[in-house]
Structure 1
């Protein structure tokens, strides 16, 4: 199983060219993926649908640039909604 977004992909998305914050960015990737996995009930991988991978990147961006520590799902709701499993 591979991560839904690699560190390299995230750094390109964030336009980060240095290695000084690699650990922070990886932590944000892991947290964002866990947040979305918990919400949709799926395990994300590098082969996951593009909207789910983009949602991970967007949560990483918000946390990295804005310092949001709770990763609200609302900004990526439209991308993840179609992938939610029905819970009874």
Structure 2
């Protein structure tokens, strides 16, 4: 089953303001023959249920290191909120 995620979207002004605040980057790059692609920060930003940034997972993490980091961050969030997994 594929893992789903929500990509950042909104008006250009709102995206520009948020990406500056988060320290991430996106750039629209034209393609030969028309159309475009988006270059962007490849790290994954993790937010808690209150939309507070709680983790930044780099693009160079192995799948095992990524899973471990996510599990650790999730346990931290659950402990802070008094929830159990």
TM range (shorter): 0.3 to 0.5
Structure ranking higher in helix proportion: 1
Instruction: Flag the structure with larger Rg.
Output: 2
Q: TM-score, normalised by structure 1?
A: 0.34
Structure ranking higher in strand proportion: 2
- Structure with higher RCO (Cα < 8 A, 6+ apart): 1
